[in-house]
Structure 1
């Protein structure tokens, strides 16, 4: 039981770290571009875009009489988006001590985290596209 709990804990920590790193990279990108208005909210919006796509696919493919499979897929998509939003909201409202941790991690393994972010967001978008294609036929 503790082994399963440890795996889930490590998984959610990894997801949170991906979101934190994506937030810092988006924040730095906006600051370099010279954008000074609402930088923190814009960075938060950038990391939330893939989850908005999950919710939009779930809502735009709703039918008048959804089948059980359609309800399950919609529940999974919206649940994934809600869990991701919960992961990202926790660190956005805290003080900036986590930012130093992320910046140190980026100094050590910049390419690793950049690739991890790209792969994770590619999976999220691929799931949204696949669900959008499959949902009308369920």
Structure 2
């Protein structure tokens, strides 16, 4: 019982750290390009693109009236996108010193977080692609 209670926060912490790290990378990329208008909003939009693809796949892959299995898949995809958007909105709205924490973590293990970001977003996009292929046949 104790083990399950300690695993869940680690999973959400890992997902939040991946989002924060992706946000910092997008923020730094926009700053290097010389963008000065709404940098925080643009960086937030960049990391939200995979979740927008989940919602679009869920809504655009339907033909006609959805049956029960399609409704379950749509609910799952939109639910995942909403939970991920909820995870990212918490730290974007707070102007705390979380950026320094992330930069220190990136200095310690830069390759780990880059690989984690790539794997995480690859899984999100793969789920969207598989759902778009499976949805017409369900």
Unaligned runs of 5+ in 2: none
Separation in structure 2 between the aligned mates of residue 109 and residue 21 of structure 1, nearest angstrom: 11
Deviation above 6 Å: which 4+ runs of structure 1? Answer: none
Deviations 1:31-87 (A, max 9, x none): 011111111000000000000000000011234321221111111100000000000
User: 1:128 matched to which residue of 2?
Assistant: 128
What is the correspondence of 1:29-44 to structure 2 with a 5 Å cutoff?
Answer: 29-44=29-44
Tell me the SS of whatever aligns to 2:35.
coil
For the aligned residue pairs, the C-alpha RMSD in angstroms reads 0.9
- Note the C-alpha offset of 1:114: 0.5
TM-score, length-normalised on structure 1? Answer: 0.97
Unpaired segments ≥5 residues, structure 1: none
The answer for the alignment partner of 1:53 in structure 2 is 53
Give the number of equivalent residue pairs.
138
| C-alpha distance in 1 between matches for 2:21 and 2:13 | 12
Partner residue, 2:4: 4
Aligned partners of 2:65 and 2:85: how far apart in 1?
28
Q: Determine the structure 1 residue equivalent to 2:113.
A: 113
Cross-structure match for 1:16: 16
Partners of 2:42 and 2:109 in 1: CA distance: 25
